Amino acid sequence: MDLIKASVLTLGCRVNQYESDFIMEELSKNGAKICHFDEKCDIYIINTCSVTAESDRKSRQLIRRCIKKNPEAKVVVTGCFSQINKDGASSIEGVDLVVGNNEKSKIAKLALDLYNQKQASSCGFDIYNGKFDTMSVGAPLTRTRAFVKIEDGCDSKCAYCIIPYARGSVRSNPPKNVISEVEKIASEGCCEVVLTGIETASYGKDLEGVSLASLLTEINKIDGISRIRLGSLDPYNLTKDFCKRIAGLEKMMPHFHISMQSGCTKTLNEMRRKYNIDMARERLEYLKASFDSLMLSADIIVGFPNETDEDFEKTYEFLKSQRFLHLHIFPYSKRDGTPAATMKGQVPEEIKKARLHRLEEMQREIKAELLNEFLASHTKTEVLFETYDGENVVGHTPNFIEVKAKSEKSLSGKLVTVRLTHTDGEYLYGEIK
């Protein structure tokens, strides 16, 4: 008997990718063969995104491509697009099942039941029931960096964001579950773990006596784990006590991604963020004072409604002063159902693009400066290598600088000391000792 062929397609964030990895593992455990989308499959599961109107369009497009690829296949739609627009997803001809965000753990079984002509119905849409949909994913095949979902939902209700309505309020995975998953990952040979969620820093607020710092303290004790990283963090949560506590953990890596969004207090207020620039600057200083060789990256939105040239210049100067290693810069995009979509003072697209390009140009210069400074102060560094192109291995330093080195073989998943030689402003280059 031929194996059932299944393909899981993912749009959107790292949390979605984690959930898709779990779905693929469950399909495999139950006898299905995981295939690439290009193959004609018996089951297609599309894990959608809805962060922008463009994400919705891409989700619908991908669903239709799967149906066209094999009209006889069972097509299951899940993710934020289906959560926000259940009727819209269900109405696409050829869709067999729609599942909300809070029961993705059941999707593999539901999809296989459908294929075997058993009854399945829409489910998982109650995202406000306080229930964390528990999953556990093993170490990646590359044995390099494993992501662990520790939290779901967001309570912030920022003016531009639909995700709290797609993911619900904060729900934390109990510490014993997280620790068990990380122990499993370590036992499978993966030495770096990234704790992620929709609002990672809010982990534990719904659990008595639990916090992100306390969870990190326990994970720091796990044998086999050498590096711990975190998903995106809001400046509001970077208190002096939190920074001090995590800086005392020897496995905590000196790199953090900050959900900054703007460098202008007026714009942050209109975005309904929980901090102003003075607070953000203070919180980033707490991190810088706590970690040696710290590097930061950040998300930035340009062209938010009512962002004037003067407002943008404040953002520009703030980012220039903070010297981020990476900036993920997004032009503001209207999202129906959010307060920002109906605000007056929408910024023309050509102005958004011009502001984006200015920040990109500045960021290239800052990154080159940071790499040169690191090279001047470090003759060698430890690198966790991840990829190999047949000639060069590429990996990351503890503070997330990318390093390239010549190698006769793949070193994926290996922690190696590298003697640094030069930089091109994008990578550091070195020789393997």
- pLDDT at position 120 is 64
Does 101 lie in the same domain as 166? no
125, part of any domain = no
358, part of any domain = yes
Long-range contacts: 31-38, Cβ < 8 Å, 24+?
31/3, 31/4, 32/3, 32/4, 32/5, 32/6, 32/108, 32/112, 33/3, 33/4, 33/5, 33/6, 34/6, 34/7, 34/8, 35/5, 35/6, 35/7, 36/7, 37/7, 37/9, 37/65, 37/66, 37/69
Does 14 lie in the same domain as 43? yes
Does 265 lie in the same domain as 170? yes
Give DSSP secondary structure letters for 247-305.
HT-TTB-SEEEEEEE-S-HHHHHHHT-S--HHHHHHHHHHHHHHSTT-EEEEEEEES-T
- pLDDT at position 140 is 75
Look at residues 199, 145, 138 and name the one whose alpha carbon lies nearest to residue 172: 199
Phi and psi at 174, nearest 5°, equal -50, 145
- pLDDT at position 122 is 67
**Other CB atoms within 10 Å distance of the CB of residue 284:** 21
132, part of any domain = no
Does 236 lie in the same domain as 166? yes
Name the domain count of the chain: 3
Q: Tokens standing for 336?
A: 């129906």
Query: Which residue, 351, 369, 387, sits at the end of a domain?
Result: 369
Q: Which residues contact 2 (CB under 8 A, 6 or more apart)?
A: none
Q: How far apart are CA 395 and CA 196, in angstroms?
A: 20
Does 392 lie in the same domain as 352? no
Q: At residue 269, what is the residue type?
A: N
Geometric angle at alpha carbon 85, from 83 and 91, rounded to 5°: 120
Does 200 lie in the same domain as 335? yes
Q: Which residues contact 241 (CB under 8 A, 6 or more apart)?
A: 213
Task: Answer yes or no: are the C-beta atoms of 399 and 288 closer than 8 Å.
Answer: no
Three-class DSSP category at 203: coil
Q: How far apart are CA 172 and CA 197, in angstroms?
A: 9
Query: Which residue, 341, 369, 397, sits at the end of a domain?
Result: 369
Does 227 lie in the same domain as 285? yes
Please list the pLDDT of the chain residue by residue as tens digits (433 residues): 578 999 999 999 999 999 999 999 999 999 999 999 888 999 999 999 999 889 999 999 999 999 999 999 999 999 999 999 999 999 999 999 999 998 899 999 999 999 988 766 667 678 777 889 999 998 776 668 899 999 999 999 999 999 999 999 999 999 999 999 999 999 999 999 999 999 999 999 999 999 999 999 999 999 999 999 999 999 999 999 999 999 999 999 999 999 999 999 999 999 999 999 999 999 999 999 999 999 999 999 999 999 999 999 999 999 999 999 999 999 999 999 999 999 999 999 999 999 999 999 999 999 999 999 999 999 999 999 999 999 999 999 999 999 999 999 999 999 999 999 999 999 999 999 7
Q: How far apart are CA 189 and CA 141, in angstroms?
A: 10
Phi and psi at 130, nearest 5°, equal 75, 10
Q: How far apart are CA 169 and CA 125, in angstroms?
A: 13
| pTM greater than the 0.85 cutoff | yes
Geometric angle at alpha carbon 351, from 348 and 357, rounded to 5°: 145
Structural domain that includes position 403: 378-432
Does 256 lie in the same domain as 154? yes
